């Protein structure tokens, strides 16, 4: 391929990026997300992060009923195309996969899960906590590989409240979004 100049490829409209602009960006192993029309470029996750994501997804998949599906690294728009995040794991009604769309939207997601990266925990703890709540996603889980904890946040009005910080050796049991039991020791 030829050289793509910054001017050609990066310039968004002055009102900012939308999800339709992302296909023009190069696939260099980084993660592209959007909030309010700004582009956020994050480093690729490290191996330990991927292991935690895989284990958690497997644990949830074994317990999920037939009408629930799990998605890994699928993009979710929040109230239009100017905010777009890629949660590590999404829990969805199976019907959400029937849509003929490039990405999910906030109403499809029953639970979003992020595993913190040591290099940049702030995006999960600050930015996504805000926008997932703004999108009305009922539950947000944050897995912290350093502290070895699972933090369960549930929507209360338009912000998340901390419902539990689950330590390894404990099990988080809930009926939402489906009957499940998760011990962080099995993930981290």
DSSP state of 55: H
- Pair type for strands 159-166 and 149-156: antiparallel
**Residues 116 and 145 sit within 8 Å (Cβ to Cβ):** yes
CA distances from 11 to 3, 35, 85, 117 (A): 16, 16, 20, 29
Question: Which is nearer to other proteins, 8 or 175 (by Cβ)?
Answer: 8
**Residues 40 and 33 sit within 8 Å (Cβ to Cβ):** yes
CB of 15 to other proteins, least distance (A): 5
Q: Does 40 bind other proteins (CB under 8 A)?
A: yes
Pick from 89, 85, 29, 93: which is nearest to 55 by CA? 89
As given in the structure block, the two tokens for residue 155 are 């929507």
Which residue intervals of 77-166 are DSSP H helices? 122, 129-134
Q: Does 75 bind other proteins (CB under 8 A)?
A: no
Q: Does 28 bind other proteins (CB under 8 A)?
A: yes
Question: Which is nearer to other proteins, 11 or 95 (by Cβ)?
Answer: 11
Q: Does 98 bind other proteins (CB under 8 A)?
A: no
- Please list every residue from 54 through 73 that binds other proteins, using CB under 8 A: none
| Sign of the torsion formed by the C-alpha atoms of 50, 115, 12 and 81 | positive
Q: Does 7 bind other proteins (CB under 8 A)?
A: yes
> For other proteins, what does the binding mask look like between residues 140 and 169, x meaning CB under 8 A?
------------------------------
Stretch that binds other proteins, among 32-40, 60-68, 85-93, 164-172 (CB under 8 A): 32-40
Positions touching other proteins (CB under 8 A) are 3-7, 9-16, 25-26, 28-30, 35-46, 82-83, 119-123, 126-127, 130-131
């Amino acid at each position: 391929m030829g050289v793509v100049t910054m001017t050609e490829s990066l310039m968004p409209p002055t009102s900012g990026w939308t999800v339709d602009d992302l296909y023009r960006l190069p696939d260099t192993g980084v993660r592209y997300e959007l909030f309010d029309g700004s582009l956020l470029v994050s480093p690729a996750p490290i191996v330990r992060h991927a292991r935690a994501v895989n284990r958690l997804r497997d644990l949830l998949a074994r317990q999920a009923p037939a009408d629930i599906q799990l998605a890994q690294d699928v993009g979710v728009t929040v109230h239009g195309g100017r905010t777009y995040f890629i949660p590590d794991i999404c829990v969805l009604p199976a019907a959400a996969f029937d849509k003929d769309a490039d990405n999910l939207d906030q109403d499809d997601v029953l639970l979003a899960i992020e595993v913190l990266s040591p290099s940049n925990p702030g995006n999960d703890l600050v930015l996504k906590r805000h926008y997932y709540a703004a999108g009305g996603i009922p539950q947000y889980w944050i897995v912290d590989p350093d502290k070895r904890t699972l933090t369960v946040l549930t929507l209360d009005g338009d912000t998340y409240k901390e419902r539990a910080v689950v330590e390894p050796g404990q099990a988080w049991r809930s009926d939402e979004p489906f009957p499940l039991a998760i011990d962080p020791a099995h993930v981290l």
